Chains A and B, each alone.
Chain A
Amino acid sequence: QKEVEQDPGPLSVPEGAIVSLNCTYSNSAFQYFMWYRQYSRKGPELLMYTYSSGNKEDGRFTAQVDKSSKYISLFIRDSQPSDSATYLCAMSAYTGGFKTIFGAGTRLFVKA
């Protein structure tokens, strides 16, 4: 079993839809939870960063962490064609040094 599981998709939605992206994990030591967006032939870009459980909102993006269920989500409201990209979840634990594990990424297509 991988430490971080993420459905690779692709996920295709119409413009304006609410998008829900999810990851599950197995290591209860993870404390930091991140979402990155990666456009084709570009490096990942950090979108959201959360410590421990709870919600965090930034514009059209909301990140949720449920440590009891080992489940994290990213919601995108009013999705736009420019949101079409691969979204990677990532998680970190401090075990003498920081270890960040990335999910496989979900490809999202937002159709105009």
Chain B
Amino acid sequence: DAGVIQSPRHEVTEMGQEVTLRCKPISGHDYLFWYRQTMMRGLELLIYFNNNVPIDDSGMPEDRFSAKMPNASFSTLKIQPSEPRDSAVYFCASSLVPQPQPQHFGDGTRLSIL
């Protein structure tokens, strides 16, 4: 089992640029979550999907953030345009019913916006 795979592991870019984070969940998992972690705010849920359908996106901070899950094995989180306050570690996680809580996390993408 390869676990949840995220790419890239690190991303440094200038403000205003588009950033795309990628996630491959564990095969067969029904739920996929995107989280953001910062020292100030801890781990915050941005959005989660069930069977590729977005269920709760109330944590997405602004319209600059968007997430898609075109199929069961791939999801993206996009920030356009990026701002320095978006700097954080972004985690993807997946779960298998009947436990909808995040069970398996990837190792995250460390994003720095200059």
Q: Which A positions have Cβ atoms within 8 angstroms of B?
A: 32, 34, 41-46, 49, 88, 90, 92, 97-100, 102-105
Tally the A-B contacts, defined by beta carbons under 8 Å.
49
Question: Which residues in B have their C-beta under 8 angstroms from that of A98?
Answer: 48, 56, 100-101
Instruction: Check A49–B45 contact: CB distance below 8 A.
Output: no
Chain A interface main SS type: strand
Instruction: Check B101–A105 contact: CB distance below 8 A.
Output: no
B106 within 8 A of A: yes
Instruction: Check B99–A42 contact: CB distance below 8 A.
Output: no
Instruction: Check B43–A44 contact: CB distance below 8 A.
Output: yes
The number of residues on chain B lying at the interface, defined by a beta carbon within 8 Å of a beta carbon of chain A, is 21
Cβ 8 A contact of A97, one of B43, B56, B91: B56
Least CB distance, A24 to chain B, in whole angstroms: 15
Least CB distance, A66 to chain B, in whole angstroms: 20
Known: A97-B55, A97-B56, A99-B56. Contact between A46 and B42, CB under 8 A?
A: no
With a 10 A CB-CB cut-off, give which of B99, B101, B110 has the most chain A CB atoms. Answer: B101
Instruction: Check A43–B101 contact: CB distance below 8 A.
Output: no
Least CB distance, B104 to chain A, in whole angstroms: 7
Question: Which residues in B have their C-beta under 8 angstroms from that of A104?
Answer: 42
